[in-house]
């Protein structure tokens, strides 16, 4: 028997309390794994902490002065922008094209979708290791293919008479390789994001445009792309952030080489701060990611809001 008492407010009715309860895990998460490390990074950047001498001494902006005097830092900063910029453009363009393939209706589309998404589901490091072999200085299958096609290894061939390209040994080729791997792994993500935007376009609009006499290109550039601009911006944002903050690809493929030609902010911060043991300098380099990421995020989110069409 249950006693019937006067109606009472239960915990489930107290929305204010519940709100805090449900928010708690994410608040703890953000504080512990985002806010605290960020404050630590700022603190370290203004200190002389090293792996050998962890005692904290405030040194002001000395770490930054030294970083600014270091040509490798400037090279890394430039590379970060070059890699991010080129990758972002390629990721968005290829993602858009791939998305069109993904929404198309044809036999075996499930297999194609699965294959397309594979690079994104593979852990970055595993993918990069696979590419390390693909781009090997001696055993590269790409070189082999080029040789078979007569584009490499013969006198007067398009890519020269040498037997190998040395993808990761030549500065320009190494940069191109890093970009290619970024594009390879991030294009599927962008394709899925753009695809979500494409399927959300009412079918009427495309049909109206067809009846209105618009051909494929006009429909693409005047209806489909404007209508998906917000999601394309989101895809660009993701592509940029993932490229910007990634160090696994550079670390596995080139280790920053040859001669720091593919060094980026993340890898340089890691090499200085962790491998080199100069925590203060590493933190100072890493801090440069923050304002740039913040600016990029704000810029793209504002663009999204501006372009919201409905």
Partner 1 sequence: MAVVEVRNLVKQFDGVRAVDGVDLATEEGEYLVLLGPSGCGKTTLLRSIAGLEQPTAGDVLIDGHVVTGLPPRARKVAMVFQSYALYPHKTVLGNIVFPLRAAGMTRADRELKAKWAADLLGIGHLLARKPRQLSGGERQRVALARALVREPHVFLLDEPLSNLDAKLRASARDELKRFQQEVSTTTIYVTHDQVEAMGLGDRIAVLSHGKVRQIGKPVDVYDDPADTFVATFIGSPPMNLVPRDEQLVGFRPEHLLPVDALPATVDREKVPLAVDRIEYLSGDRHVYGTVTGIGEATRVVARLPATVDSPISAGETYDFAVARHRLRFFVAATGERA
Per rule CB under 8 A, is residue 4 in the interface with partner 1?
no
Per rule CB under 8 A, is residue 21 in the interface with partner 1?
no
Per rule CB under 8 A, is residue 207 in the interface with partner 1?
yes
Residue 199 beta carbon to partner 1: minimum distance, rounded to whole angstroms = 16
Per rule CB under 8 A, is residue 199 in the interface with partner 1?
no
Residue from the set 53, 57, 222, 275 that interacts with partner 1 by CB under 8 A? 222
Cβ distance to partner 1 smaller for residue 208 or 295? 208
Q: State the helix-helix crossing angle for 279-287 and 36-45, rounded to 10 degrees.
A: 120
Cβ distance to partner 1 smaller for residue 156 or 213? 213
Residue from the set 56, 212, 275, 301 that interacts with partner 1 by CB under 8 A? 212
Q: State the helix-helix crossing angle for 71-103 and 171-199, rounded to 10 degrees.
A: 40
Phi/psi for 161 (5° steps) reads -90, -15
Residue closest to 242 by CA, chosen among 119, 133, 135: 119
> What is the per-residue binding string for partner 1 in 227-246, x denoting contact by CB under 8 A?
x-------------------
Residue from the set 205, 274, 298, 301 that interacts with partner 1 by CB under 8 A? 205
Cβ distance to partner 1 smaller for residue 109 or 218? 218
Per rule CB under 8 A, is residue 213 in the interface with partner 1?
yes
- With contacts defined by CB under 8 A, name the span among 26-34, 91-99, 185-193, 213-221 that binds partner 1: 213-221
Are 287 and 42 within 8 A, CB to CB?
A: yes
Q: Calculate Rg over the CA atoms of the chain.
A: 25
Per rule CB under 8 A, is residue 214 in the interface with partner 1?
yes
Per rule CB under 8 A, is residue 223 in the interface with partner 1?
yes
Signed CA dihedral, 278, 297, 71, 91: sign only? positive
Phi/psi for 100 (5° steps) reads -65, -35
Residue 96 beta carbon to partner 1: minimum distance, rounded to whole angstroms = 17
- With contacts defined by CB under 8 A, name the span among 115-123, 130-138, 216-224, 298-306 that binds partner 1: 216-224
Which alpha helices (DSSP H) does the chain contain, by range? 15-30, 36-45, 62-68, 71-103, 109-121, 124-134, 141-148, 171-199, 203-211, 216-219, 225-245, 248-253, 265-270, 279-287, 289-307
- Sequence-separated (6 or more) residues with CB below 8 Å from residue 196: 231
Residues of the shown chain interacting with partner 1 in the complex, contacts defined by CB under 8 A: 202, 204-205, 207-215, 218, 222-223, 226-227, 309-310
């Amino acid at each position: 028997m249950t006693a019937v008492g006067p109606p009472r407010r239960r915990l489930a009715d107290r929305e204010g309390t519940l709100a805090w309860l449900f928010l708690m895990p994410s608040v703890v998460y953000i504080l512990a794994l985002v806010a605290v490390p960020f404050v630590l990074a700022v603190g370290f950047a203004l200190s002389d902490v090293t792996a050998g001498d962890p005692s904290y001494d405030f040194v002001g902006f000395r770490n930054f002065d030294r970083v600014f005097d270091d040509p490798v830092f400037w090279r890394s900063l430039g590379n970060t922008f070059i890699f991010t910029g080129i990758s972002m453009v390629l990721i968005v363009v290829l993602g858009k094209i791939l998305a069109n393939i993904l929404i198309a209706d044809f036999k075996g589309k499930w297999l194609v979708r699965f294959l397309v998404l594979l690079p994104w589901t593979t852990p970055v490091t595993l993918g990069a290791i696979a590419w390390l072999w693909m781009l090997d200085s001696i055993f590269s299958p790409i070189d082999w293919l080029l040789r078979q096609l007569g584009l490499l290894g013969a006198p007067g061939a398009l890519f020269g008479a040498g037997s190998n390209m040395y993808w990761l040994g030549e500065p320009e080729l190494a940069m191109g390789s890093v970009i290619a791997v970024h594009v390879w792994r991030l294009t599927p993500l962008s394709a899925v994001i753009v695809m979500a935007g494409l399927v959300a376009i009412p079918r009427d609009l495309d049909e109206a445009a067809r009846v209105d006499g618009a051909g494929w290109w006009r429909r693409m550039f005047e209806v489909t792309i404007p209508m998906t601009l917000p999601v394309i911006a989101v895809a660009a944002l993701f592509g940029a952030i993932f490229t910007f903050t990634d160090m696994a690809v550079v670390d596995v493929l080139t280790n920053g080489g040859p001669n720091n030609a593919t060094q980026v902010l993340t890898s340089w911060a890691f090499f200085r701060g962790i491998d080199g043991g100069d925590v203060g300098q590493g933190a100072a380099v890493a801090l440069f990611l923050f304002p740039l990421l913040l600016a990029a995020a704000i810029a793209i989110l504002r663009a999204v809001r501006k372009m919201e069409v409905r």
